[in-house]
Amino acid sequence: MIKPGTQDEVEGKLHDVKGKVKEVAGRVLNDPDLEADGEAEKIAGLASDLDTLFELAREGEDVNGDLEREMRSLTAYLEKLETKMLLSGENDARSAIVTIHPGAGGTESQDWAEMLLRMYLRWAERHGFQAVVTDRLEGEGAGIKSATVEINGENAYGLLQSEIGVHRLVRISPFDSNARRHTSFASVFVYPQIEDDINIEIKPEDLRVDVFRASGAGGQHVNRTESAVRMTHIPTGLVVQCQNERSQHKNRASAMKQMRARLYEFEMEKKRVEQSKVEDSKLEINFGSQIRSYVLAPYRLIKDHRTKLSIGDVDRVLDGDMDRLMHAFLVYKHTGKVSGDGKEELPD
């Protein structure tokens, strides 16, 4: 039985879900791989189950809980399927290399950068991806000055493209004895991992390799031997470093993988500039350039400034549940459609 006063609301939700069903099912029919997997039939079956529950509710059966649960389940499934269809870029299926840098603000921004690092590591864990922190420079007092993470898994790069840009945090500072509100910034860049099947030529004479003693936690051996590797590509000035392994050989191999990825992105960037379609420009880390705001005070809200999507469960997102944000970005990137009305006023 549908509760008095809620029938219009339930019918509205059902109408929205069925509209999404029609849209996604149409795309599935035009995708041979998804059609072969029987996705269209699965969508039709789930939609039919939803119709049956709605009719039972109208006839007086107490299925409200089941109806709401099935609508949420079908919506989540459709978004997951739509995300899969939107990952069609040249490198979307590849693993990713993520770099994080705090903006101005010292300890505040460094702590925020570490919070972002944890968010991406938790996201990778939720998806069953392997995440390896290949470089981490500790901040003074708290947080990190920089970090590089390899996230290995199918479509990792395609999904993480939504994170490229400046992230803004507003909160009551845990480092301020007067408990004042602070705004912090950190930048995130994402590169595809380039394997040996991509022809990126690196001449030995173009590389300068420096070895040094690793810093930070890791046992006595890490600090006793020169196992850390810093690699510089002389023609472009690109620099990468790796110090997480005890073996210099393993650190050198990891640094070379990162250098190949950086050089590939360097060449792709030159092409995008030539075509006037630069999508991954590196924004200045300051107010006004952010892609997303995370507000913890005076209220709690995450707002993506590109897609207009707002999420109130901040803790869940910071714990790695970022799928809605990533899905909304992919829809926006491919169709220009936004996911919210953008009316929320965020604090300075």
Are residues 290 and 179 both part of a single domain?
yes
With respect to residue 263, please indicate whether it lies within any of the assigned structural domains.
yes
Name the domain boundary from 86, 121, 153. Answer: 86
With respect to residue 346, please indicate whether it lies within any of the assigned structural domains.
no
Whether the CB-CB separation of 268 and 238 falls below 8 Å is answered with: no
CA-closest candidate to residue 324, choices 104, 19, 82, 97? 82
With respect to residue 289, please indicate whether it lies within any of the assigned structural domains.
yes
The predicted pLDDT at position 287 comes to 52
- Burial class from Cβ neighbours inside 10 Å (0-12, 13-18, 19+) for residue 337 reads exposed
Are residues 44 and 72 both part of a single domain?
yes
With respect to residue 216, please indicate whether it lies within any of the assigned structural domains.
yes
Which is it for the CA torsion 57, 60, 61, 65, positive or negative?
positive
Are residues 183 and 303 both part of a single domain?
yes
Are residues 318 and 287 both part of a single domain?
yes
Are residues 182 and 322 both part of a single domain?
yes
Are residues 39 and 186 both part of a single domain?
no
Are residues 110 and 190 both part of a single domain?
yes
348 residues of the chain, pLDDT tens digit each? 445 445 666 666 666 666 666 666 666 656 666 554 667 677 777 777 777 877 777 777 776 777 777 777 777 777 778 888 888 787 899 999 999 999 987 899 999 999 999 999 999 999 999 999 999 999 988 999 999 999 999 999 999 999 999 999 999 998 888 888 999 999 999 988 876 555 678 898 999 999 988 766 545 544 567 789 999 999 999 999 998 888 888 999 999 999 999 998 888 777 666 544 334 444 455 555 789 999 998 999 999 999 999 999 999 999 999 999 999 999 999 889 898 765 555 665
Are residues 264 and 331 both part of a single domain?
no
Cα separation of 302 and 293, whole Å?
6
With respect to residue 341, please indicate whether it lies within any of the assigned structural domains.
no
Are residues 245 and 297 both part of a single domain?
no
With respect to residue 131, please indicate whether it lies within any of the assigned structural domains.
yes
The CATH number given to whatever domain includes residue 304 is 3.30.70.1660
Are residues 183 and 285 both part of a single domain?
yes
With respect to residue 306, please indicate whether it lies within any of the assigned structural domains.
yes
Domain that holds residue 22: 7-86
Which is it for the CA torsion 78, 79, 84, 86, positive or negative?
positive
Strands 144-152, 130-138: pairing is antiparallel
Whether the CB-CB separation of 131 and 149 falls below 8 Å is answered with: yes
Q: How many domains does the chain have?
A: 3
With respect to residue 112, please indicate whether it lies within any of the assigned structural domains.
yes
